[in-house]
């Protein structure tokens, strides 16, 4: 019983911290534009994407033929993809107070346009785009990538 008394505040604090951590981690961005067939894959489950959908770390965006998608992230980065694209939001971490963070997108195919945000501005090379043949480091930039097969 005494153990519980001592442990309870610690457990409650732990739960509270976990709760905040979750809230801080869950939402990394939002879908702002959808044309044609666009999907979000989360835990291998495919969902048809629509404007306003919230994105999480590890989500995968895919577009079909004649399709495109536009996304904003909580660090003000913007990413948009053209037809037949597949992009995994592999790692995303952002602290809005310090602007420290990390952004790794894994682009397997298609076309991509990116305007980097606070993460790249705060720390060069904290934002990266991986493709099948190389890795791109972003230093506060507007750029476009195509993976040709």
Partner 1 sequence: MCVMSQRGLYSCVIVAAAALLLASCASVKTFVVLLPEETGVPSAVTVGEGNRQAILEVPLSAAAVDARGNLEKSTVTTEEINRIFADALAAQPPKSISFTLYFDTNSTEVSAASQSALAELLAEVAKRAAAEVQVTGHTDRVGTDTENDRLSLERAEAVRTMLIQRGIKASFIRAVGRGEREPLVSTPDEQPEPRNRRVEVIVR
Q: How far is CA 31 from CA 63, 67, 73, 81, 113, in A?
A: 13, 14, 9, 11, 15
Q: Which of 60, 82, 91, 104 binds partner 1 (CB under 8 A)?
A: 82
- Note whether 131 binds partner 1 by CB under 8 A: yes
Which residues, listed in sequence order, are joined to residue 63 by a DSSP beta bridge?
38
- Note whether 139 binds partner 1 by CB under 8 A: yes
- Note whether 72 binds partner 1 by CB under 8 A: yes
Of 120, 115, 143, 118, the closest CA to residue 131 belongs to 143
Closer to partner 1 by CB, 42 or 139: give it.
Answer: 139
Closer to partner 1 by CB, 44 or 134: give it.
Answer: 134
Q: How many residues bind partner 1 (CB under 8 A)?
A: 45
Residues 29, 59, 112, 67, Cα dihedral to 10°? -100
- Note whether 12 binds partner 1 by CB under 8 A: no
For 82, counting Cβ atoms within 10 Å of its Cβ (0-12 exposed, 13-18 middle, 19+ buried), the class is: middle
- Note whether 71 binds partner 1 by CB under 8 A: yes
Applying CB under 8 A, the residues found at the interface with partner 1 are 30-33, 35, 51-52, 66-72, 76, 78, 80-83, 85, 111-113, 115, 125, 131-149
């Amino acid at each position: 019983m005494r153990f519980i008394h001592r442990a309870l505040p610690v457990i409650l604090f732990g739960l509270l911290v976990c709760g905040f951590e979750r809230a801080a981690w869950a939402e990394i961005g939002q879908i702002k534009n959808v044309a044609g067939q666009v999907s979000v894959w989360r835990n291998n489950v495919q969902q048809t994407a629509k404007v306003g959908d919230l994105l999480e770390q590890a989500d995968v965006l895919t577009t079909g033929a004649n399709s495109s998608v536009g996304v904003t992230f909580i660090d003000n980065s913007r990413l948009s993809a053209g037809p037949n694209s597949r992009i995994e939001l592999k790692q995303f971490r952002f602290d809005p107070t310090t602007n420290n963070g990390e952004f790794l997108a894994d682009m397997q195919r298609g076309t991509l346009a990116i305007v980097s945000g606070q993460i790249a501005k705060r720390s060069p090379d904290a934002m990266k785009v991986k493709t099948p043949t190389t890795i791109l480091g972003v230093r506060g930039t507007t750029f476009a990538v195509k993976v040709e097969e």
